Structure formats: structure tokens, C-alpha cells
């Protein structure tokens, strides 16, 4: 078929399809729409996957940053707890010479000498605890007294010993009243202070 014949046919079919719905339907049935080329579908799928992968990578980076921040906070909190414990031990040394007493070899001292030193250390350490921690007993009963622990008692503050079985209520004898810190008032740590130094070495000139 020549070019002009094909042009004329296309011209006629165009207006026939445009003006005759029944004819247009027949033409449509003769030429069903073809599926998109595989290359186009594959390109769209690849673009979607790359977009999703990019979002996942960004989320992973965000989670990694959050994890690093949490680790940093946990490390700082652990360091603060350790510094606080060392600072308190330093206070006991400063006000009661506690570390001096524990590190001293007392085997060569008689009981009277040890007792005299212990009294001084006791007074200094007690004052330090009362000043900075406000230590108070957990149980107010006298040691040796009979008592009953009802269901729901604070297991963090009371430890059961001996023949432990069953569930509360428990009836037993108070062997130790326990202690708790009513408050914590430690001096602020100075930036130049090393908490690991419990007592400075002293050099007299």
C-alpha cells in the first residue's frame, strides 16, 4: 500500500473512531493495549527499591547516632557513680582516717591501742556519714524482736535469711535493722580534682 493510500486510510479511520463509538470499540478489541516494556517496569521497580534503600540507610544512620548518644550518656552516668563513691571514700579518709586504719598492719598493736584508734575513726566516720548521707535505720524495731512481713513488703530493703519458703506474710526475728541514706549531699567535684586520689601524699619542707 502506497504512502498516500495509508495516509488517506489513517485519516478516515481517525474520524471514524472519533465519531463512531461502536467502531472505536471494535478497533480497540482488535488491538488490545500492550503491557509496558519490561525495561520500563524494571526501571520503575529499581527506582522504588533505591528510594526505599535510601530511606532505610538514613534510618539506620539515625539509630546509630541515637545508640552512640545513649552509650555516651550511660558511660557518663557510670563515671559519675564511680566518682561519687571515690569522693565519699575520700571524705571518710579526710574526716575519719578510714583508709589509713584499713591499710595499717595492726597485728603488732595491742587491743588497747587498736581500740583507741578505732574510737577516733568511729567518731570521724560517723560524723561524715551523718553530714553527707543522713544515714537512718530501715527497721525501727530492736534487733532480736519478733516481727511479721506482710505481703507487698519492700524486698529491696529487707532480706530474708534462714528457712525461706512459701509466700508472705513471713514471721521471723530481726537480726539487723539495716541502714538507708535519707539524703545524699556530697560536695561538688572540682574540675582539677582527681577523685581517685583518696588522700594526698604530704611532704613537709
pLDDT reported for residue 151: 94
- Residue 67: predicted pLDDT: 84
Q: What is the pTM of this model?
A: 0.53
What per-residue confidence (pLDDT) applies to 138?
96
Q: What confidence score (pLDDT) does residue 122 get?
A: 93
pLDDT at 48 (0 to 100): 81
Residue 13 has a pLDDT of 64
For the chain, which residues make up each domain, given as ranges? 38-134+183-199, 141-158+170-177
What residues of the chain score a pLDDT lower than 50?
none
**pLDDT digit string, tens, across residues 22-44:** 666 676 666 555 555 566 556 66
User: What is the predicted pLDDT for the residue at 34?
Assistant: 56
Q: What confidence score (pLDDT) does residue 8 get? A: 59
Adjacent-strand bridge partners of 148: 171
Amino acid at each position: 500500500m502506497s504512502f498516500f493510500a495509508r495516509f488517506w486510510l489513517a485519516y478516515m479511520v481517525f474520524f471514524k473512531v472519533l465519531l463512531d463509538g461502536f467502531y472505536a470499540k471494535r478497533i480497540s478489541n482488535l488491538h488490545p493495549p500492550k503491557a509496558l516494556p519490561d525495561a520500563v517496569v524494571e526501571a520503575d521497580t529499581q527506582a522504588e527499591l533505591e528510594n526505599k534503600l535510601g530511606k532505610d540507610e538514613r534510618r539506620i544512620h539515625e539509630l546509630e547516632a541515637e545508640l552512640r548518644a545513649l552509650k555516651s550518656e550511660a558511660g557518663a552516668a557510670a563515671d559519675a557513680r564511680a566518682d561519687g563513691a571515690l569522693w565519699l571514700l575520700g571524705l571518710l579518709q579526710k574526716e575519719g582516717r578510714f583508709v589509713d586504719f584499713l591499710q595499717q598492719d595492726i597485728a603488732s598493736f595491742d587491743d588497747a591501742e587498736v581500740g583507741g584508734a578505732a574510737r577516733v575513726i568511729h567518731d570521724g566516720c560517723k560524723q561524715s556519714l551523718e553530714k553527707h548521707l543522713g544515714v537512718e535505720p530501715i527497721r525501727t524495731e530492736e534487733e532480736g524482736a519478733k516481727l511479721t512481713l506482710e505481703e507487698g513488703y519492700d524486698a529491696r530493703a529487707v532480706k530474708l535469711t534462714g528457712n525461706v519458703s512459701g509466700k508472705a506474710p513471713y514471721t521471723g526475728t530481726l537480726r539487723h535493722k539495716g541502714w538507708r541514706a535519707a539524703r545524699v549531699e556530697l560536695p561538688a567535684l572540682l574540675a582539677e580534682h582527681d577523685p581517685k586520689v583518696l588522700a594526698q601524699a604530704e611532704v613537709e619542707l
